[in-house]
Homo-oligomer: A and B are copies of this chain.
């Protein structure tokens, strides 16, 4: 893809007009979402380049985003939107299943076994509801000793078929999960 990338970038740079943007995100926001190719983390919220830090990993999980969130907060961010999405690959297997599959595929080669064990938790969500998965990560961030106390953390579910996000955890403490618990 190298030659395509270079050609496309020449066009991108020729029309580039964002060179004056400052390092700190102008809206003080972080979007934490999945690496999934179909998710446009800024577009779905109507955010522009320069307005938010975007952290993306498999599943949009909080567990390996802490390092980045702490550094982000050093540059003034104070809101985090946690976004998980429908049809997410992370919900198709368990941590044990992926560990076993990789080790087995490598005929238990010691370097592979060691690397798989050092990952430990693959952050996958098989058997968990989307709303629960979001709520777990919101709670993790709200209670994490390195996330600043006054940070607003909200939870969202994005539908890759419709382009719609639904807010499942609000900043006022409302959560779809709590509502379910009251039924």
Contacts and interface: CB of A to CB of B under 8 A. Distances in A.
Determine the interface band of chain A, counting residues with CB < 8 A from chain B.
35 or more
A145 B5 contact: no
B89 A115 contact: no
Interface of A: 1-2, 4-9, 11-13, 15-16, 18-19, 21, 23-27, 29-30, 35-40, 43-47, 49-58, 64-68, 70-72, 74-75, 79, 81, 87, 89-90, 98, 102, 106, 109, 111-112, 114-116, 119, 122-124, 144-146, 154, 156, 160-165, 167, 170-171
A49 B67 contact: no
B146 A115 contact: yes
A145 B29 contact: no
28 contacts: A2-B154, A9-B44, A9-B163, A11-B46, A12-B163, A13-B162, A16-B163, A19-B160, A19-B162, A23-B36, A23-B37, A23-B38, A24-B37, A25-B37, A35-B68, A35-B72, A37-B49, A37-B52, A37-B53, A38-B49, A39-B49, A55-B56, A57-B57, A67-B123, A102-B146, A109-B145, A116-B146, A119-B146
